[in-house]
Amino acid sequence: MTYQNFGLKFDPFAHLDSTKDARLYEYLVIPRAVEIAWGDKPTAIFAKPGGGKSALRTYTELVYRGTRGVKLPITYVPDTYSSEPDFHFFGLSQSLARAVMIYLISYPDIFLQFSSTRQAETKHLLIHLPYELNFILDILAKAQSTAEIEQLFGVRAISGIEKLGKAHQEMIRLLRCNQVAKTGETNIITLMTQAKEIFEIASFHILVDGLDGFIETAEKRSLLKWIAPLLNIADSWAQQHIYIKLFLPLTISDFPEIHTCAYMQTASLDWDDGLLAEVIRRRLYVASNGSFDSLDALSTPDLHNVELHLARQLDAEKKLPRQIIIKAHALLKQAQKNPDLAIHYENLFREEIRHVA
């Protein structure tokens, strides 16, 4: 699709994977019920695949990054699954190390002001990165922009910094010079306590996502067993200002084990036609620089509430943001074939569009 033909500055329907959408924060639609994800309590958010879990998790991360590290988000998206009792805590130590590295990239001057002891303690956190620290430092030394590092870690910088400068190079030099032995044992609470003292963090928010794939390959009870260690410590960690936020498949929302945590808040990402239509309107408004906020502006005069019609065409089980984005994209591709580049009645209601998604 050539988005410029429709007066758009970019294609607002290009990204189905919200974690790869750099503009997500500009137009994300959030059902009010799931705003609890931003609170200071453990939380479980349920949704179908494509229902907005990762988008909400990404946005929640951005909300906390706005605190400049006072409330530190730790994104935990496991690459593999295991029933070993310490599996999560090994993965969390890697995720914490990523969060610390991104913090340092955002504010290198803070590290430069540390005493040599504090610098050594900081390096001790970084040696838990999923890659060897020297390898990471080599990449940092050659990087032209923070975007390269964000892509490597899958986490965005806290500050709006775009280029790596002299302060980063000096930080890299000091990290290379500081000798710290990596211990074989990883105690995640010890590591978080250390990070809290070093960076004056008020609270940690552990964002657990990427579990839809588990449901596709294993029985639902297996996923419950996998998250059980996190559920078991959710309440005690909350009292230490460490809040676990789970973004979970809807299919396990009725398991009572999830609701036994005293402090756990739960909500489902539910989408009605109005909210789905708003998903399209917000994206159009941003992509057009505020010139229009509806597909009506790209349609013949006889069409009104086009995005609402798209939402109503979705079957009940497919009333999801991903599905209406697919439909909107397909509709514009159809309109592009028209001589006037407008959406016509037959485009909106033809079988190819009605049954897309």
Q: Please list the pLDDT of the chain residue by residue as tens digits (357 residues).
A: 688 889 999 999 998 888 778 788 889 898 888 999 999 999 999 998 889 998 999 889 888 887 888 999 999 988 777 767 678 888 899 999 999 998 898 889 999 999 999 999 999 999 888 888 888 899 888 887 777 777 777 666 666 677 788 999 999 999 998 877 555 456 899 999 999 999 999 999 999 998 887 766 667 778 888 888 899 999 999 999 999 999 999 988 888 888 888 899 999 999 999 999 999 999 999 999 999 999 999 999 999 999 999 999 999 989 999 999 999 999 999 999 999 999 999 999 875 565 565
CB burial readout 196-209, b (16+ within 10 A) else e: bebbebebbbbbbb
Distance CA 143, CA 22 (A): 19
Looking at the DSSP bridge assignments, the partners of residue 242 are 204
Q: Taking the domains of the chain in order of start, what are their residue ranges?
A: 28-268, 271-354
Q: Which residue has the tokens 């897309």?
A: 356
pLDDT at site 18: 80
- Indicate left, alpha or beta for 272 from its phi (over 0: left) and psi (-120 to 50: alpha): beta
Give the pairing of strands 203-208 and 43-47. Answer: unpaired
pLDDT score of 158 = 63
Evaluate whether 314 touches 356 at the Cβ level (below 8 Å): no
Confidence at residue 330, expressed as pLDDT on a 0 to 100 scale: 93
d(CA 164, CA 141): 9
What's the CA gap between 19 and 155, in Å, rounded? Answer: 9
Instruction: Identify residue 312 by its one-letter amino acid code.
Output: R
Which residue blocks in 22-155 are alpha helix, DSSP H? 24-27, 53-65, 87-106, 108-113, 116-126, 133-142, 146-153
Find the helix or strand (DSSP H, E) in which 234 lies: helix 220-238
Burial of 316 from C-beta contacts in 10 A (0-12 / 13-18 / 19+): exposed
CA distance 27 to 12: 9
Question: Assign residue 269 a region: left if phi > 0, alpha if psi is -120 to 50, beta otherwise?
Answer: beta
